[in-house]
Amino acid sequence: MRVSESRFHTIFQQTPTGKAIVDLDGRFIEVNPKLCEITGYSADELVTMTFQQITEEADLPGDLQHVAELLGGARKTYSLEKRYRRRDGVTIWIDLSVALIRDDRGLPMHFVSVVQDITSRKHSERVLRDYRQELERRVLERTGELTSSRVALQTITDNLPVLIAHVDADLRYRFNNQVYHDVFGVDPAALRGKTVRETIGAATFERCLPYFRRVLAGERVTHEDIVYEGAPARIWNATYIPEFQRGEAVGFYIMSQDITETKRRENQMRSEVMRDALTGLPNRRALAEQLALCVDAARAEDVPFALFFMDLDGFKNVNDQHGHDAGDALLRQVAARLKKTTRAGDLVCRLAGDEFVLLARGIASSSACSRIAQDICRAIGRPFDVGSGEARLGTSVGIAMCAGGIDTSAETMLAEADRAMYEAKRKGRNGFRFASMPTDAAPANDRFIEAAGNAAMRH
C-alpha cells in the first residue's frame, strides 16, 4: 500500500496536466502544482475554494448539469471545454475531464478532475475562423464591386489559393478562377456553361447535391471533407453563399479551400491522444471509442464480439527486484507479444499499469474465446528478458462475450470482463474465466488453468 500510495502521489504531483480531488460540493481537497500553474492560485488558496468560484459564470450551468448526472448515476465520467478565471483576472480555456469515485457500497465519495490549458488552441481556432470569414468577406466584396469588369475579377481571384466559382440555379458554371485549371486541368473559360457534375465527377456531385439544394433555398452552407475526383489525394472544404436577386436565390458562389495539411495535423494529434506513450498500443480512450462502435454494431447489425480483460500476474515482483525501468521494458515486451498473438484486425489496448484489454470482433463461440485466452496465457507465460536476467509472468484473463442483437453497453461489457479477470485470479491465476460461463467452456477453462496456468506460475 505504501508503494502504491507513493506511486499515486508521484503521478498526481508530477504529471504535466492539472489534477485535483474535489469533494461533492465542489471544494478542492487536493491539487497538484500544474493546476496551481494553470489557475494562478497557490495550493493553500485553492483548497479554500470551490471550482464554481473560478469557473466563468456562463459556463457553470453546463458543468453543474454534468455533475448532477454523475451523482445521479446517468454517467460515470464527463469531459467538456470551459473557461476558468485565473487569480490575475485573465480568462483561460481548459479541457476538463471528471470521474466520480464511489465507496464499496456505491455511495459517492469525491470527484477526480484532470485539467489541460487549451487557451492557445482556442486562440488559433479563432484566428483561423476569423481569417476564413475575412477571406470570404473580401472575395464577396470584390466579386460585387468588379462584376462589370470580368478581367479585373479574374486577375484577383486567380491569385487567391482558393477554388472560386459562380454557379447558376441550373448548377452550371458562370465563372471559375485559375485554380480550377491547377486542380482539374481544365481552362476556366471552357467551364462556363458546363454543369458542376461534369467537372467534379458524378460520385462527388451526389455527395454535394444536398448542400447545393440548401444554398439554392437561400441558406449559407459549409461543406467539410470533400474529395474531388480530379484531386483524389487532397481534402477540401467549401462555403456556398447564395446569390440573391429580388429576394430570390438565383445561384451561388463557391469558395473551396485545400485543408489536406490541416487534416493531417488533426489526425496526427488524434493519433497521439489515442495512443499509450509507453507501449505504443491504443489507450483507454481509443478502447472506449471502438468498444462503443462494437456495441452499436452488435445491437443494430447482429455483429458479435468478445472482450478480454488481462492483468499480469507477478509484475510487481519484477518491479521490486529489477526496478521500474525493467518493468517498463517488460510492459513493452508484453505489448509486442499480445500484438503478435492476436489477429491483425483485433484491438489490443493498455488501460493502465499492467492491465491490458483485447477487443476481438466477429467472435461468436466460447471455444474460440478459450483458444484465444490460452494463446495469450502461453505467450505471456514464456520467460522475458529483463537485462539482468529472466522474469516469468502469468496473466489472469476475464472474458465477456456479446452476441449479436444483445442490448448492452460498453461500460457493462468492460465491468463484466474485469470481474471475470478477478475471478480468474482467485481461482489460481494465469488462467481465464468467462463473465457468464458457457457450459461448453467450463471444462476446457478448468483444464487449462490446472495444466498451463498453475504450472507456469510454479516456475
How many residues are given for the chain? 459
Q: CB of 195 within 8 A of CB of 171?
A: yes
Indicate the residue type of 350: R
| Residue 248 grid coordinates | 430570390
- Tell me how far apart the 2 most distant CA atoms of the chain are, in Å: 90
DSSP element (H, E) containing 248: strand 248-258
| Residue 188 grid coordinates | 476556366
Whether the domain at 2-117 and the domain at 122-262 fall into the same CATH topology:
yes
Domain 277-458 fold: Alpha-Beta Plaits (3.30.70)
How far is residue 71's CA from residue 98's CA, in Å, rounded to a whole number? 12
Write the burial class of residue 340 (CB in 10 Å: 0-12 exposed, 13-18 middle, 19+ buried). exposed
Listed in order, strand segments (DSSP E) in 103-235 are: 108-117, 163-168, 173-176, 221-226
- Residues β-bridged to residue 433: 398
Domain 2-117 fold: Beta-Lactamase (3.30.450)
Q: Give this prediction's pTM.
A: 0.47
Phi, psi of 441 (to 5 degrees): -100, -25
- CATH for 122-262, among 3.40.50.150, 3.60.40.10, 3.30.450.20, 3.40.50.2300? 3.30.450.20
How far is residue 240's CA from residue 253's CA, in Å, rounded to a whole number? 6
Residue 450: strand, helix, or coil: helix
What are the counts of helices (DSSP H) followed by strands (DSSP E) for the chain? Answer: 19, 17
> Who contacts 181 (Cβ-Cβ below 8 Å, separation ≥6)?
187, 188
Q: Please state the domain extents for the chain.
A: 2-117, 122-262, 277-458
pLDDT tens, residue order, the chain (459 aa):
665 566 666 667 777 889 999 999 999 999 999 999 999 999 999 999 999 999 999 999 999 999 999 999 998 899 999 999 999 999 999 999 999 999 889 899 999 999 999 988 888 888 888 888 888 888 777 766 655 556 656 666 666 778 889 999 999 999 888 888 888 888 888 888 999 998 888 888 999 999 999 999 999 999 888 888 777 788 888 999 999 998 899 999 998 888 888 778 777 776 777 888 889 899 988 899 899 988 888 888 888 999 999 999 988 888 888 888 888 899 999 999 999 999 888 999 998 889 999 999 988 899 999 999 999 999 999 999 887 778 889 999 999 999 866 778 889 999 999 999 999 988 877 899 999 744 444 444 443 443 344 433 333
How far is residue 412's CA from residue 418's CA, in Å, rounded to a whole number? 10
